[in-house]
């Protein structure tokens, strides 16, 4: 702040009058008398043409002598110079402030411009990354296709109000509940009599094979619990048409009509071992091979309706042939494991039931699948044919018959 002005006289005897002001902060600190200054070597007195130069370079001078002002004229000049100086300083400060503000505002705009643009770019980038609808669509389509099939082929069964008890192989009222539960789950039985007969044991074993529990043919604790907790009927793989499925892994048969599983039967297929046996129909002929039930899709080609028939390897009951000499037939022995020469065994009551169904006949498809039992022996060579044992037996029988007839004739007349 400029606080005092006066009249100065240069040491070089120059008669030029100049206005003097100091940069002191308070007017009380300024001397009231004018001072005489000596010009520095860098700033001769003739260069004092601008007040700004004089103000900035005033400190290069040193005071010499004191003189008193003569009259009021120098004081008036000093006040006028001070007013002019103050006005010019205020103008300069306003202009500098006006010039500084646009610059500051420009800097603010420059710094804010990137900030306002950056969020815009980020906003346009984020939606692009978020919209990944391809994965959601494909997953939904696959899940819908997979979960649509089971409900159309699975049939639920009613929940029991009381748990099944382990009856073992005993007959009674609880056995009747077991029989009804087996029928509800799709395992065939001729009737619910309460009597634990051979057919009931076959149905129990079929249930045990289907569910993968121990195959005993008796209602033990595990079987009773499984019967109680079952929620759906047994289901075959096929969902269309009429056919028989032979599951060699679980040793059960599925009978399917119009794509719906009708019932399940216990069975026993080929044991997988090599065998050598006499042909039961041709004298002196041997049958040799491996006891397997080949996998594949076949059709019932021929069948025999009445009772027992003599097969090459033994008697079979009411057979339905589907692959050469292999047939679905009745048998008195259907164990828990594969045990046949290659045929598909079922119980006698079950075979009789199959013959009552008009859709289980010639042309019915038979689908055999599963793994064959591994052979534990080697192929057995066929011995040369021999007919002597059969001829001797035949001759002896004929001789015996003749003797018997003769004896009868001899005894007929009355004694004398």
Q: How far, in whole angstroms, is CA 200 from its chain's centroid?
A: 41
CATH topology of domain 173-229: Muramoyl-pentapeptide Carboxypeptidase; domain 1 (1.10.101)
Question: Using CA atoms, how far apart are residues 294 and 319, in angstroms rounded to an integer?
Answer: 17
Mean pLDDT of 187-206: 97
Could you give the 3-state DSSP secondary structure of residue 200? helix
Listed range (183-192, 227-236, 271-280, 384-393) with the worst mean pLDDT: 384-393
CATH architecture assignment, domain 243-369: Beta Barrel (2.40)
Q: What angle do CA 185, 191, 193 make, to 5 degrees?
A: 110
Domain boundaries, the chain: 5-80, 173-229, 243-369
pLDDT for residue 317 is more than 50: yes
Taking the alpha carbons at both ends of the chain, their separation in whole angstroms is 187
Whole-angstrom CA distances from 347 to 236, 241, 253 are 20, 25, 12
Task: Give residue-wise pLDDT tens across range 81-112.
Answer: 777 766 665 654 554 444 444 333 433 334 34
- Location of structure tokens 């259907």: 334
- Location of structure tokens 């009552």: 356
The pTM assigned to this predicted structure is 0.57
């Amino acid at each position: 702040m400029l606080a005092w002005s006066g009249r100065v006289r240069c040491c070089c005897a120059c008669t030029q009058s100049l206005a003097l002001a100091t940069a002191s902060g308070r007017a009380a600190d300024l001397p009231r008398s004018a001072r005489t200054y000596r010009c520095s070597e860098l700033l001769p007195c003739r260069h004092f043409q601008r007040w700004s130069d004089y103000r900035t370079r005033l400190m290069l001078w040193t005071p010499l002598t004191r003189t008193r002002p003569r009259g009021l004229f120098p004081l008036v000049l000093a006040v006028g110079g001070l007013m002019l100086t103050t006005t010019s300083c205020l103008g300069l400060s306003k202009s500098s402030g006006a010039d500084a503000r646009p610059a500051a505002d420009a800097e603010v705009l420059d710094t804010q411009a990137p900030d306002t643009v950056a969020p815009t770019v980020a906003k346009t980038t984020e939606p692009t990354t978020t919209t990944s609808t391809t994965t959601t669509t494909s997953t939904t389509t696959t899940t819908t296709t997979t979960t649509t099939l089971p409900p159309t082929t699975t049939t639920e069964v009613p929940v029991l109000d009381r748990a099944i008890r382990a009856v073992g192989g005993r007959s009674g009222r609880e056995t009747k509940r077991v029989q009804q539960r087996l029928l509800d789950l799709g395992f065939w039985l001729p009737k619910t009599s309460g009597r634990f007969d051979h057919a009931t044991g076959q149905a129990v074993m079929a249930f045990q094979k289907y569910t993968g529990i121990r195959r005993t043919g008796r209602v033990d604790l595990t079987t009773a619990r499984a019967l109680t907790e079952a929620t759906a009927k047994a289901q075959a793989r096929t969902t269309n048409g009429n056919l028989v499925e032979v599951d060699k892994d679980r040793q059960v048969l599925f009978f399917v009509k119009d794509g719906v599983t009708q019932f399940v039967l216990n069975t026993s297929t080929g044991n997988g071992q090599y065998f050598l046996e006499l042909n039961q129909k041709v004298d002196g002929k041997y049958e040799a091979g491996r006891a397997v039930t080949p996998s594949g899709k076949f059709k019932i080609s021929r069948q025999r309706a009445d009772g027992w028939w003599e097969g090459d390897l033994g008697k079979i009951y009411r057979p339905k042939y589907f692959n050469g000499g292999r047939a679905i037939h009745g048998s008195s022995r259907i164990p828990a494991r594969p045990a046949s020469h290659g045929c598909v065994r079922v119980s006698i009551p079950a075979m009789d039931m199959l013959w009552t169904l008009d859709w289980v006949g010639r042309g019915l498809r038979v689908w055999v699948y599963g793994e064959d039992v591994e052979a534990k022996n080697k192929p057995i060579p066929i011995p040369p044919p021999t007919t002597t044992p059969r001829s001797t037996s035949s001759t002896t029988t004929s001789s015996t018959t003749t003797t018997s007839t003769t004896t009868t004739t001899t005894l007929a007349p009355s004694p004398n």
